[in-house]
């Protein structure tokens, strides 16, 4: 048997039933901190900034860092990051071009991923719209309801780590005909979304991502709609429920938001004109 990847671990557990207690090995998701650091400024005056520490499932960490920087409005293009390298086991340094502005005060006080905590809903939406790079094109593209119906099944088929552990969120990008373009898994739903967007950027996908539908395996909260809006994704579908603030964000950014996608049924909460 090959060694387990760093994203999962085997732990001794006891299963209890009315008849017996049985000891066995269980496979669990690994959760570890990742520090994302920035190197910025002109040559000879380069500085480093500890931007964020997120609890994540190890794996595809470069995708996570790049996607995070993009959805936070720090980067507009993948080329603005000249290198991503490890400083230690759980610390990634992202080297930025000298011309990339870094607003240290804003970044140390307010990141969008926590903007719905302690900030009113309108302020959260306005903050995103102030720096949002892309918006979906009105009425484009059109997605068939038949394509949407089959997305959760295709997502589950591709979730290798979820099958092993049952403890991961997933975010996937699908093309207009339902073809899987990219899938990423993580213990944090926002991390899975950053990984998927970062993977698309690193693969050379053209921004904005206006030809894709994004599917998330759980609920659709504000932070997921915000991240999709930053990338110009026109349609976000969720297996679970959206939040009220997520619907407001989708409505204001021109995004089609789908919830409760299960079997041959779903609800549309904003911009239904894209679904035919």
Question: Catalytic residue numbers?
Answer: 117
- State the helix-helix crossing angle for 121-131 and 244-253, rounded to 10 degrees: 30
CB 236 within 8 A of CB 225: yes
What's the token pair of residue 244? 């009220």
CB 162 within 8 A of CB 185: yes
Looking at residue 272, the DSSP 8-state letter turns out to be G
CB 258 within 8 A of CB 237: yes
Residues paired with 258 in a beta bridge: 237, 268
Alpha-carbon distance of 246 to 78, in angstroms, equals 26
* Nearest residue to 254 (alpha-carbon basis) of 136, 104, 134, 128: 136
């Amino acid at each position: 048997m090959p060694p387990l990847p760093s994203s999962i671990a085997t732990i001794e557990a006891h299963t209890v039933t009315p008849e017996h207690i049985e000891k066995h090995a269980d496979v669990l998701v690994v959760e570890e901190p990742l520090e994302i650091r920035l190197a910025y400024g002109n040559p000879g005056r380069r500085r480093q900034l500890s931007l964020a520490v997120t609890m994540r499932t190890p794996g595809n960490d470069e995708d996570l860092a790049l996607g995070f920087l993009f959805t936070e409005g720090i980067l507009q293009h993948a080329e603005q990051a000249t290198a991503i390298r490890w400083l230690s086991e759980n610390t990634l340094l992202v080297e930025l071009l000298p011309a990339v502005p870094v607003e240290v005060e804003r970044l140390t006080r307010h990141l969008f991923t926590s903007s719905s905590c302690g900030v009113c809903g309108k302020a959260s939406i306005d903050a995103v719209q102030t720096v949002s790079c892309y918006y979906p094109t009105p009425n484009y593209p059109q997605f068939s309801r038949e394509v949407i119906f089959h997305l959760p099944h295709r997502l589950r088929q591709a979730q290798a780590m979820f099958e092993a552990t049952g403890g991961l969120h997933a975010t996937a990008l699908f093309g207009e005909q339902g073809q899987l373009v990219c899938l990423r898994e993580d213990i944090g739903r926002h991390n899975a979304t950053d990984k998927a967007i970062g993977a698309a950027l690193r693969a050379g996908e053209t921004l904005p991502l206006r030809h894709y539908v994004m599917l998330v395996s759980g609920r659709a909260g504000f932070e997921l709609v915000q991240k999709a809006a930053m990338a110009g994704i026109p349609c976000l579908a969720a297996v679970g429920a959206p939040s009220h603030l997520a619907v407001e964000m989708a409505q204001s950014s021109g995004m089609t938001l789908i919830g409760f996608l299960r079997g041959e049924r779903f609800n549309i909460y904003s911009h239904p004109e894209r679904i035919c």
